[in-house]
Amino acid sequence: MNPRNTLWCPEEGDCIPCVQVMLTLGLLGPSALGAKQDGGANKIREQPKGHPKKIPRTHIFLMAETYSSLSRCVEVEVWLPYDWESQNNSLGSLQYNCFPIALSGELHLRVFMRPHYHSTGVLQVMHHGPDCTWPKATDAIHLCQVPRLATSVGLQSAILHVQNVPKGLHFKLWLYLNRTDGLQGLDQGTPKLLTGSENVSLPISQVFPCLCFQVWPKIEDQADTPRTHLCPFVNDRAALARAWAHSRLEVHPSRESLSCLVSAPCDLQGELVPCWRMEELACHPLHPHLHLALIPNEPQEFPRLRPHPNLCVQVRRNGSTYLQSCLQDDVPKSQQYLLFQEIRDTQGNLLVQIMEQGTWVSPAQVSNTVRPFSSLSLPPSVSLNLIAVGNPVLLSFPPPLSFFTEKKEVGGRPEEEYAVREMHRGEY
């Protein structure tokens, strides 16, 4: 069985796709013809009058079924005299014209015989119909006759050029943002009716990488016609920069976690990175492994990350920062904190490091402003954290990694203001 796509044209220029099926027929040997058949099919039917010899014959059934459960069945009876002579067992071919199929549709084909011989089986093929990229479809099928789309971009607006609209046909044009959380239509999501060639203007503020267009024929009795898609700004750098400029990062603190929400017009790619803001307003990532893959327009959470005035969240990609939001916009100098990190080396020894100018350093390397800790040494057998009086741990990770904070020495405060506390069951 060999199916192929073709056209059925009741009128010139108004065709529909259909499937032509070609069956190649062959003659079984005498032993196979005499084999036992199913369902009592070994009984020979009454022969035509005046025919001196028995005529072997069979009925070939071809069934065609679509996804909508619409099916058609064709029966052909084949007769062959016993005295038929040939060099081989080929009987030629049988051609069926033709089974209608929807654009991009499927047609399930089955061929079988009655009577059913054990040496023959059921032929089955799942055939896929053509779409509008099929060369024969462009000029012959109305649904595939769509206008040509092109775009141009200026300083204040972008122009969609709709050209070569077929005469006598109307089309619908839909402008939308292609996002994973759903297609979002522009201009209240209402498709625009096109009756001829037209230039459609868009403000430059709406030109994003995910801006797309759909065009399809307006046919009253056709609810779901094939659509032409165009997304011309996917790789446009200016459109990408505009999408970041129209995005917003919100940070919401809770007692034991930090939640973030990035509102963006498109599915932007990046990472959410918590960072520690120093007095020079630079923000340094807390840890290389502390980040989340960005999912725009969906709340995301950093569990166990407690709020702190110096804490911010950035949206970063390829080393660049696109968005930043802090829990406190202005951090007074009297509320500026140092960030400490407690780690264990490969031998299990407890080490304390302090972030200074975006780099983790040992207490001995810290500048004089934190001199109270420059001579600090910790016994490796004791799990200790440093914490300012009245200030909780910033981030509580399972051992051996944790973060904590300590106030700077401000205004000549005495050293005994700083406390060393031991963690016991997660508390200090």
Q: Greater confidence, 337 or 360?
A: 360
**19 lies in the same domain as 106:** yes
Q: What is the mean pLDDT of the chain?
A: 75
Tell me, yes or no, whether 13 and 128 share the same domain.
yes
Q: Is residue 394 part of a domain?
A: no
What pLDDT is stored for residue 216 in this prediction? Answer: 84
One domain, residues 110 and 24: yes
Strand partners of residue 133: none
- Into how many domains does the chain fold? 3
Other Cβ atoms within 10 Å of 165 Cβ, number: 19
| Within-domain flag for 223 | yes
Span of 37-41, 195-199, 201-205 with lowest mean pLDDT: 37-41
Question: Which of 63-67, 323-327, 361-365 is predicted with the least confidence, judged by mean pLDDT?
Answer: 361-365
313: pLDDT confidence band, cut at 50, 70 and 90?
A: very high
DSSP strands (E only) in 228-367: 228-230, 248-253, 257-263, 271-277, 283-285, 292-293, 300-303, 311-317, 320-326, 337-344, 350-356, 359-361
Average pLDDT for 138-166: 85
Please write the tens of the pLDDT for every residue from 12-58.
767 888 999 999 888 776 545 544 444 444 444 444 555 556 667 78
- Which carries the bigger pLDDT value, residue 10 or residue 236? 236
Residues 157 and 229 in one domain: yes
Say if 116 falls within a structural domain: yes
Residue where one domain finishes, among candidates 288, 306, 326? 326
- pLDDT-derived band at 248, boundaries 50, 70, 90: very high
In this structure, the answer to whether residues 20 and 133 fall within a common structural domain is yes
Euclidean distance between CA atoms 190 and 174, whole angstroms: 7
Please indicate whether residue 186 or residue 255 has the higher confidence score (pLDDT).
186
Domain extent at residue 302: 240-326
186 & 149 share domain? yes
Both 126 and 174 in a single domain?
Answer: no
Please indicate, yes or no, whether residues 123 and 15 belong to a single structural domain of this protein. Answer: yes
* 248 and 302 both lie in a single domain: yes
Domain boundary among 138, 171, 206: 138
Give residue 395's pLDDT. Answer: 47
> By percentage, how much of the chain surpasses pLDDT 70?
71
**Which of 26-30, 38-42, 206-210, 246-250 is least confident?**
38-42
How high is the pLDDT of residue 234?
94
One DSSP character per residue, 115-184 reads SPBTT---EEEEEEPP-TTSTTHHHH-GGG---EEEEEE-SSEEEEEEE-PPTT--EEEEEEE--TT--E
The contacts of residue 373 (CB under 8 Å, 6+ apart) are 354, 363, 366, 386, 406, 418
SS3 call for 371: helix
Determine the Cα–Cα distance for residues 285 and 363; give it in Å rounded to an integer: 19
Q: What is the pLDDT of residue 373?
A: 38
Q: To the nearest whole percent, how much of the chain has pLDDT over 90? A: 26
Asked which of 123, 138, 153 is the last residue of a domain, the reply is 138
Contact predicate 311/337, CB 8 Å: no
Confidence check: pLDDT of 381 > 50: no
Residue 206 has pLDDT above 90, yes or no: yes
- From 14-18, 82-86, 152-156, the region with the lowest mean pLDDT: 82-86
CB-CB contact of 206 with 239 (8 Å): no
Residues 113 and 15 in one domain: yes
Q: Residue 252 falls within a domain, yes or no?
A: yes
pLDDT at 428 over 50: no
112 lies in some domain: yes
pLDDT digits (tens, 9 = 90+) for 257-302: 889 999 999 999 999 999 888 766 788 888 788 899 999 999 999 8
Given a cut of 90, is residue 238 above it in pLDDT? yes
* Encoded amino acid at 116, one letter: H
Cβ–Cβ under 8 Å, residues 403 and 355:
no
Q: CATH number, domain at 80?
A: 2.60.40.2160
Dump pLDDT digits (tens) for 211-228.
Answer: 999 988 887 766 667 677
Distance CA 102, CA 67 (A): 10
* 342 occurs within a structural domain: no
Residue 372 placed within a domain: no
Global confidence as pTM: 0.60
Q: CB–CB of 264/298 below 8 Å?
A: no
pLDDT classification of 424: cutoffs 50, 70, 90: very low
59, part of any domain: yes
CA distances from 218 to 144, 169, 177, 190 (A): 12, 8, 22, 14
Are residues 16 and 59 both part of a single domain?
yes
Domain of 278, CATH number, reads 2.60.40
Structure tokens at 97: 């014209």
Q: Out of 183-192, 279-288, 396-405, 416-425, pick the least confident.
A: 416-425
Same domain as 91, residue 69: yes
Q: Report yes or no: 155 and 167 within 8 Å, Cβ to Cβ.
A: no
Distances (CA, A) of 405 to 156, 188, 340: 49, 50, 6
